[in-house]
Structure 1
């Protein structure tokens, strides 16, 4: 009896197993048929390392113009930068990421202001990897600040010495000072402080620029509503802040006022576009304002090149505010590096052409009684002496040309 029951059990089990196998086989067949009906051909698996290496090679081994378009500097400036970072032990290659790739991804990001995921997709890296190495390179470049952004020194600029319009009248002038607004992203509670004369929230960046377009001092982080003179006071009060050598001075606009080491244009005096024209300067103050303005455009040119080269400075940032400030300083460091290697690259020439094509009208700078009282008498006398001597020479040379 037990044998019969065991036999029946085995038979039933075999029947169930067979039926299940039949159902599974039928299901697989159906899936294969449906898949074949809607089959989407897939690309062959790519070699990510090769794709990445080929792309980087196409940038740094291509033409200068292509390299500048992609990473905002020429191959020569790029290799020099990598060499400096390596020799100073500021960057190290890892098993998977070379120094060149670290720097290329960083330059590509700040040059075009693209998102991490876009860079990650282009270089076949995760967003976490791009973010990590971005911060590594940013810290490394910040450590070059003391080497590349040097304070004003006593030497007269060759650009002054070689130009009869400025020499010897501006022999004690070391550069120009001005501020620029860079877009800032801050919490809602702080946005009112960061709204200045520009649209949206910005930070006001103060900079001193030499006549070879290099930054000599940069102070970033002030809110956009802050006045230029207040930021200058902060720069002068810092332990390692801005210092102008004794007897030397910087050219600034009227917002900085006439003070020790800083000479603005005359207020209430027009300045013209050309020295020898139907509307040439009529007195020493107009001539001084004209040449003062001509020299002070140096800082405007430097800001123009900086923002055109690094688009991250002219777009809505998505970093923390501290990182936004560091990025501005890093861009100034890189700007000075490039000006030391390729001072007349495509971007610099483009900005020069744009500025020369702009037309400027005759301007009138007004003054208030308070500003008159606050002017430093010693430096007012110095400015008058420069203006008078320069105008006398201008008149004499004009008579010789007639």
Structure 2
């Protein structure tokens, strides 16, 4: 009888120890564990930005802007909240992976992810007039000074270049138009930026085989510059024609003044090459897009809008200095007499 009581006491003691440990674990879980389904709670600010490429404040800001465009009354079924749609699209933009993999992370089908990306991209692209604007004359004063402080070239409003966004073959009789000089199918995207990498102009509708200078000559901003409707001067590489409002480097600088011009011109237009590199690091989907052509175009513009919003909200992500190499400096465009005269005046007045 005494032995039975001893076994019973031991069993009760172990049961009590188990209950104590379970209570401690439960208290720790309640205190420490977070809801992993809510990124705003489960991730720190840096972890959140690393996954979605915008700060938490930035996501709240963007979601409020696009909510009326992506949420509409449903006759049946459940509506996916605007925040969740935006986060799904941001994860796709930043990861640049297959939609089915994004669906596995969010418990959504590939078809639903495709619809969300298309819907959110169109909503973000519609914000282009608000966040991607060529500077006014008043704004140009500050931009000119910042460019001069950066590279020593006077009077610069923006640096211009094109970058290729790889896509899958569009098929059909016009497919080969999209094959660029490297043999890839791509969209040739024109960008103009300031010295702090803010995008002030984007043209995303030309096929990969199109030359940079042709895109510029057919763009709206070129006509505005020709008519002196907006501030100039832009800096570009030798793939562009030298004009009074778009200055290019010398093919072979000879004099000391020309060499100083060359050095300042190359350094001052460096931000556009950095901008192209940072844009593709921020949104890896721009390295290769598997979307339909129309959605590709709107997604490119959407990423440019998000890039400017990220700068506006001062995200703290650091990207490597990756210089984009999709330029056409090896193709020299014929120069106009007025462009040569303008370049010569700047050489004599500022670099002699």
TM-score using structure 1 length: 0.68
CA distance in 2, matches of 1:328, 1:114: 15
Instruction: Look up the match of 1:375.
Output: 336
User: CA 1:232–1:328 in 2, change beyond 3 Å: closer, same or farther?
Assistant: same
- Structure 1 residues 189, 142: CA separation in 2 closer, same or farther (over 3 Å shift)? same
In the TM superposition, what is the alpha-carbon distance from 1:251 to its structure 2 partner? 0.6
In structure 2, C-alpha distance between the alignment counterparts of 1:384 and 1:229, rounded to whole Å = 21
Q: Cα offset for 1:188?
A: 5.6
1:126 corresponds to: 109
CA separation of 1:225 and 1:261: change in aligned 2, threshold 3 A: same
Residue 312 (structure 2) aligns with: 340
> In the alignment, which residue of structure 2 is the partner of 1:31?
none
Deviation at 1:99, TM superposition (A): 1.5
**Match 2:51 to one of 70, 83, 89:** 70
Q: Cα distance, 1:142 vs. partner?
A: 1.4
Instruction: State the distance in 2 between where 1:56 and 1:150 align.
Output: 37
Per-residue Cα deviation, 1:156-175 (whole angstroms, up to 9, x for no partner): 3535425765798513x210
Cα distance in 2 for partners of 1:283, 1:103 equals 54
8 Å contact 1:142–1:333 — kept in the other structure? yes
Q: Does 1:150 align with 2:133?
A: yes
Q: Summarize deviations over 1:300-332 as a string: whole Å, max 9, x none.
A: 1111111001111102x3221111111111111
Find the residue that maps to 1:384 and give its secondary structure.
helix
**Equivalence for 1:211:** 195
Matching of residue 293 in structure 1 with residue 266 in structure 2: yes
Q: How does 1:154-169 map to 2 (within 5 A)?
A: 154=137, 155-156=139-140, 158=142, 160-161=144-145
Quote the Cα distance in structure 2 between the aligned partners of 1:140 and 1:240.
Answer: 27
**Equivalent of 1:54 in 35, 42, 67:** 35
The one-character-per-residue Cα deviations of 1:119-139 (angstroms, maximum 9, x if unpaired) are 222112233332332222122
Equivalent residue pairs, number? 310
Matched, 1:108 2:91: yes
Point out where structure 2 has 5 or more consecutive residues left out of the alignment.
1-33
Deviations 1:310-360 (A, max 9, x none): 111102x32211111111111111111111111x632xx3234x55xx9xx
Spell out the pairing of 1:1-400 with structure 2 (5 A cutoff).
54-58=35-39, 62-86=43-67, 89-92=68-71, 95-154=78-137, 155-156=139-140, 158=142, 160-161=144-145, 170-171=154-155, 173-185=156-168, 186-187=170-171, 189-236=173-220, 245=229, 248-269=232-253, 283-315=256-288, 317-342=289-314, 345-346=316-317, 349-352=318-321, 354=322, 371=334, 374-377=335-338, 379-392=339-352
| Cα distance in 2 for residues equivalent to 1:367 and 1:314 | 24
* 1:191-242 Cα deviation digits (max 9, x unpaired): 3222222242111111111222111111112121111111112114899999
Give the conservation status (yes or no) of the 8 Å contact 1:59–1:66: no
> Counterparts of 2:259 and 2:110 in 1: how far apart (Å)?
57
Which structure has the higher relative contact order (CA within 8 Å, separation 6+)? 2
The 1-side partners of 2:110 and 2:293 are apart by 20
Q: Distance in 2 between matches of 1:219 and 1:113?
A: 21
